[in-house]
Chains A and B, each alone.
Chain A
Amino acid sequence: MNNLFAPIYEFFYYGVPFSDDLYQNELYVPLGLFLIFFSLAMVFTFYYWINRPSFSRWYHWGIMLGINMIFQFGFAVIIPQNKFIALGIEEYNSEYYNFGLSVTLMALLMFVLFSFMLRWWSTNCRQTPFPN
């Protein structure tokens, strides 16, 4: 699974040796799973759990997207940082944040992708963020 996620993450951000350390420590697996499942959960929450006419405008969708991006950024910074500190790898600083920003971009794309896949069956938000 690490091999599956690594090329995708490295397409968006590749820094030596930061990305190699992520790969070596198989951190792309929890990051990738979190990226998929948290984005999916946020999309489901918006389209099927909240699913309210009063929370169905494009900016409400934007709020959910923003929350997803913030969580993904935090997770992408904290998980590698904790792991590398635990392993005594302490030479990284800006790498965490650059990687976090790339994951945030991926979270945006993932949220949009899931939105387009799943919105059609929502009672109140099937036209959000883009009308048919």
Chain B
Amino acid sequence: MAKLFIFGIGGTGSRVIKALTMLLASGVKINASEIIPIIIDPDRANGDLNRTIALLKSYQHIRTSLEFDKNQFFRTKITTLNELVASQEKTVMKSEDFRMELEGVQNQYFRDFIAFEQMDEANKALTSLLFSEENLASDMEVGFKGNPNIGSVVLNKFSKSDEFKNFASNFAENDRIFIISSIFGGTGAAGFPLILKNIRNAPDNKWLRESKVGAVSVLPYFGVTPDEKSKIDKATFISKTKAALSYYSRNITGNKSVNALYYIGDKETKDYDNREGSKEQMNAAHFVELASALAIVDFMEIQDGALKNNEGRAENTIAKEFGIESSGQDGKFNFSHIGKGNSAKLIRKPLTQAMLFHLFLEEAIDTSLKHPWANAGKIIIDSDFLTKDFYKSVREFWQKYNGWLKEMSGNTIGFSPFKTVNKDNVFHVVDGIEPKEGMLEFKKNFELFIDRLNGASVGDLPIEQKFMALFTKATEKLAADKFGF
């Protein structure tokens, strides 16, 4: 299997990578040996960005203790570009963690970035035609605030960065690239065509020029509350989208520079608080981001033969869109409303397993350690294990997973696959599915869960692996027995 480099541009890029991380943590399979997320966002303090980076780090931290013969959770390797480079004894880059550093945007206004004051009068006049006074006074460090005209200038430096050079030199023949961007903002709308252009025109790197590139372009799916002080105005979202689509039709799909392009969007039914960026921009998760993450999984399933290139151009550009069968009731929908296609089948089992895992850790583990699943064999899972960093990290990760699901459920429209349950109705957790009850099945709720854990034979593995393997087996059986997944 090949590596997958994912460029997540702007806030939407971060949120889609977050959704992908949740899917991979639950055990959704992706046809890649490892994933290298590269987040491009000049807004270093962006809330969405930092939440995603923290989640990715947590994923990596948990994964270091694990092997994956018997465990499905956290199976896919996620690497930073820095780690990939360091592992090959190349220069370690300036970029921290998963974020690519954009040079020249720190503590700078756009006016300074383009050296406006040093321009002659003719160039100043031309620049003033292209950029408003407000544009020129923009602080680069909080992103491009819905202004792709600024982003297209700043992000054009991308190919000259050490990070891009290292990415290019680590790109192997069969590796793939996926680019996530929104079409209606600033950073994403500007960044996508530029990254693509730099990939297709990479000097001295045939593999990169001939690489298989997929992308998701997220159309408007939320609005922002009107705010006279803010530079972001939702009234411009549709016009920007139209303009960008028109540009893409000539310069993305039109010139076949992308192999597969996924379109996704929704009605702007919910207005988020109007935040221009920084730590205050922390939008609630939305199903569109989950569906965009599924586009990445789908892209990796496409056979090489369907993604052939010729002289840096796709022989055929595949265009896909995503739809759900029904939007459910009262703006909430669940697994059954997604439809009978691959998407629901792909996610419903692992997401349910992860939810069951979370419920058990929150409600039942303390009192279940006396049972054989925990205290039989050479490796004992005892109360001391529950104080260890590994266990706390796993528990915290599933708490974030639950929080992410709750955010999606509370959004408009709300993807709400799970219901709130208590210890007396644990298996009513999957919305829209009545759990199967066996005629002679007297064990219920967490007692049945413990029974499945006790019955899960995984051998004497190191404690962390044993723990994850037991929950893989037990939740797999429960998902099959109770929900038919």
Which of B84-92, B185-193, B448-456 touches A?
A: B448-456
Q: Does A88 contact B (CB under 8 A)?
A: no
Residue A19 CB within 8 A of the other chain: no
Q: Does B123 contact A (CB under 8 A)?
A: no
Contact-residue bracket for chain A: 10 to 19
| Proximity string of chain B (368-402) to chain A, C-beta cutoff 8 Å, 1 when within and 0 when not | 10111001110000000000000000000000000
Tell me if B375 and A127 are in contact (CB < 8 A): yes
In the complex, A26→B398 CA distance in Å? 67
Contact A53 B376 (CB under 8 A): no
Bound Cα distance from A51 to B372, whole angstroms: 12
Asked if B443 and A52 make an inter-chain contact with CB atoms under 8 angstroms apart, the answer reads: yes
Query: How many angstroms between the C-alpha atoms of A53 and B367 in the bound complex?
Result: 11
Residues on A with C-beta less than 8 A from B375 are 127, 131
User: Do B371 and A56 have beta carbons less than 8 Å apart?
Assistant: yes
Number of interface residues of B (CB under 8 A): 14
Which of chain A's residues have a CB closer than 8 A to the CB of B372? 123-124, 126-127
B451 with A132: CB separation less than 8 A: no
DSSP class of B's interface residues: helix, strand, loop or mixed? helix
CB-contacts of B241-288 with A (<8 A): none
State how many angstroms separate the Cβ of A125 from the closest Cβ of chain B. Answer: 8
* Contact in complex: A53, B443 (CB < 8 Å): yes
Query: How many Cβ-Cβ contacts under 8 Å join chain A to chain B?
Result: 34
In the complex, A54 has a CB within 8 A of chain B = yes
Interface set, chain A 110-132, CB cutoff 8 A to B? 123-124, 126-127, 131-132
A52-B442, A53-B447, A56-B371 in contact; A123/B455 too (CB < 8 A)?
yes
Q: A52-B442, A131-B375, A132-B376 are in contact. Are A123 and B447 (CB under 8 A)?
A: no
What residues of B have a CB within 8 angstroms of the CB of A132 in the complex?
376-377
**A124 in contact with B376 (CB, 8 Å):** no
With A52-B447, A132-B376 in contact, is A124–B442 under 8 Å at CB?
no
CB distance from A109 to the nearest CB of B (A): 25
Contact A123 B443 (CB under 8 A): no
List chain A residues, Cβ under 8 A from B443: 52-54
> Across the interface, which residues of A come within 8 angstroms of B442, CB to CB?
52
Chain A residues within an 8 Å CB radius of B377: 132
Q: Contacts of B451 on A, CB cut-off 8 Å? A: 51-53, 123-124
Question: Once the chains are docked, how many angstroms separate the CA of A18 from the CA of B49?
Answer: 89
Provide the residues of chain A in CB contact with B370, threshold 8 Å: 57
- From B453, which residue of chain A is reached at the shortest CB distance? A53
Among A51, A52, A126, contact of B376 (Cβ-Cβ < 8 Å): A126
B residues near A (Cβ < 8 Å) are 368, 370-372, 375-377, 442-443, 447, 450-451, 454-455
Q: What are 9 of the A-B contact pairs (CB < 8 Å)?
A: A52-B442, A52-B447, A52-B451, A53-B454, A124-B372, A127-B372, A127-B375, A131-B375, A132-B376
**Across the A-B interface, the 6 shortest Cβ-Cβ residue pairs:** A53-B450, A123-B455, A123-B454, A124-B454, A53-B447, A54-B447
